[in-house]
Amino acid sequence: MAKAKSRFFCSQCGQESLKWLGRCPGCGAWNSLVEEQVAKGGGEKSLSNRFGATLTGGPIHIDQAEVQSNIRLSTGIAELDRVLGGGLVVGSLTLLAGDPGIGKSTLLLQAARHMAAASGPVLYVSGEESVQQIKMRARRLGIEGVDLYLLAETDIAVVIETIRQRKPGWVIIDSIQTMYWDELGSAPGNVAQVRECAAQVMRLAKDLPVAVTLVGHVTKEGAIAGPRVLEHMVDAVLYLEGERHYPYRVLRGVKNRFGSTNELGIFEMIGQGMVEVPNPSAFFLAERTQGVAGSVVVPCMEGTRPVLVEVQALVAATSFGQPRRMATGLDYNRTVLLAAVLDKRIGLQLGQQDIYVNVAGGLKIAEPAADLAVVTAIASSWRNQPADPEAVVIGEVGLTGEVRAVGHLEKRMHEALKLGFTRCVCPKQNRKYLKEDTGIEVIAVETVEEALAALLGG
C-alpha cells in the first residue's frame, strides 16, 4: 500500500508546494497555503480514467461540431431562468451560493418540482439533511406527485454511481462542502475535498451529459468557501442575497458561460417558499413617502430590466471635528466624489456636514447613471427642500459638474411612465436620440446646476 504524502496547496489559485510558504508564489496571496493529503493510491490517474471515459479520437473542426436544439431546460421559475440566461444548459455545472438560511435549498426544491413535472426525473442529493427533513420542507412547499428523487449521502462515489444508474435530467447537490472522496485522507469541507469532488462532478456532467447544480457555503466575508479554483471550474456562479430584515431575495449572476452576468432575479420569501416579483419597481417603491427632502427616484438597469429605486440622503451638521460620510447600497468612494462636486461646483458648504446616503430596500447600485440622483438627494436634504415627486432622475456626473449621457434611456423612461411618473430629468446628449412622443415630459440638462434648478426650483 502506497504511503500517504502531504503537499501544500494554495486555496486561491491551487498552486502546489512541497513546504509551507507565507506567500503563494503563484498568485501572491498571503497565508493561503493549506496542507493536504495526496491520494493514497491512483492519485496520478486522470479524471477521465477514473470514470472510464474514452478519448474522442482527436480534435473536431468547429464547423463539424454539433449543438443540440434542446440544449436549455426551463426551471419553471422565470426569474431563475432570466439569471441563467434562459434556463439550465444540458451538461453544465452551476454553483449557487448564499448566506445560511437565505433560501437556497427552498429555491432549488421549488425549481426541482417544475423541472420534474416538465422535463423528466430530478435527483436531489443532500449532505446536510435527512430524507425526512427534505420531505417536511417539500410538504410545506406543496411538492408531491412529481418525478423527484431524494438521496441523503456524502460519499461522492456513491452519488456518482447513483447518477449513472438513474440518469436524471437534473442533479442538485446540497452542498458541495459536505461531500468527500474516500481516497483523500482529509475531512469534508477541506480545500482538497471540495476541489476534487467538484472536479469529479464536473467530469460526470460533461460525460453523460446532465445538468448539475451545486450549493455552496460562504465565509463570514461573503466569499464562497473552499478553493477559488472552484469558481473557475463551474460554468455559472449565482449568488442569492438579501437582508434578514427584508422579505425579498436577490439572485445575481457573477459568472455565466452561457448568458449575461448583468441579469437580476427578485424573489419574496413567504411561508410557502420563494415567490417571484414580476414588478420589482413597484415593490421597491411601495413604501416611498412623497414630499420629504432627500428622496429621489432613479431608474437603474439590472441587465435588460429597468428597476426604479429610491435614493435617500440625509445631511446634518457634524458634532465632531471630522465630518462623516456613509453610503449604503452605493459605492462609498463614488459618493464622496459626488459630494465634493456639489461643494466645489455648486457652492454647497458641505465641509462641516455629515452625509448619509442610502438605497431604500437594500438594493445595491453599481452603475454611474445614478450619480445625478445621489447629487440631487444630497442637495435636497441640505436645502431641506423636497425634490419634484413626479420626476425621475437619470445621468452620470463628471468632476466638472457636467451631466453625461447614459444607455437604455427609453427603457428607463418607459418603466417610469408605467409607475405614474410624468417627468424625467436626463442628460441633454441623450435627448437627440429619443423619439418625439415618449409619453413623458423630458427635461434635458447639461450641468448639475440646471438639474437642481429643474428639480428643486433654483
Q: Which three cell numbers stand for residue 345?
A: 461646483
Domain end, chosen from 278, 310, 326, is at 278
103 assigned to a ligand binding site: yes
Q: Which amino acid is at 170?
A: W
User: What domain range is 138 assigned to?
Assistant: 73-278
Residue 57 located in a structural domain: no
Does residue 212 sit in the same domain as residue 321?
Answer: no
Does residue 149 sit in the same domain as residue 220?
Answer: yes
The DSSP code sequence of 238-294 is: EEEE--TTSSEEEEEEEEETTS-S--EEEEEEETTEEEE-S-HHHHHTTTPPTT-TT
Does residue 274 sit in the same domain as residue 293?
Answer: no
98 assigned to a ligand binding site: yes
Does residue 117 sit in the same domain as residue 249?
Answer: yes
Does residue 266 sit in the same domain as residue 391?
Answer: no
What is the reported pLDDT for 70? 58
Does residue 359 sit in the same domain as residue 253?
Answer: no
Q: Which three cell numbers stand for residue 331?
A: 459605492
Give the residue from 160, 151, 155 showing the smallest Cα distance to 51: 160
What is the reported pLDDT for 458? 58
Does residue 352 sit in the same domain as residue 213?
Answer: no
Residue 48 located in a structural domain: no
CATH number assigned to the domain comprising residue 347? 3.30.230.10
The pTM assigned to this predicted structure is 0.77
Does residue 131 sit in the same domain as residue 237?
Answer: yes
Give the residue from 289, 285, 313, 333 showing the smallest Cα distance to 383: 313
Cis peptide leading into 381, omega within 30 of 0? no
Residue 329 located in a structural domain: yes
Give, to the nearest 10 degrees, the angle between helix 131-140 and helix 104-119.
Answer: 80
What is the reported pLDDT for 43? 43
11 assigned to a ligand binding site: no
Query: Are 36 and 6 in contact, with CB atoms under 8 Å apart?
Result: yes
Residue ranges, the chain, pLDDT below 70? 1-4, 37-57, 68-70, 244-245, 436, 458
> CA-CA distances (angstroms) from residue 433 to 109, 181, 197, 330?
46, 59, 53, 29
Residue 434 located in a structural domain: yes
What is the reported pLDDT for 250? 87
What is the reported pLDDT for 225? 77
99 assigned to a ligand binding site: yes
Residue 330 located in a structural domain: yes
Q: How far is CA 357 from the centre of its chain?
A: 23
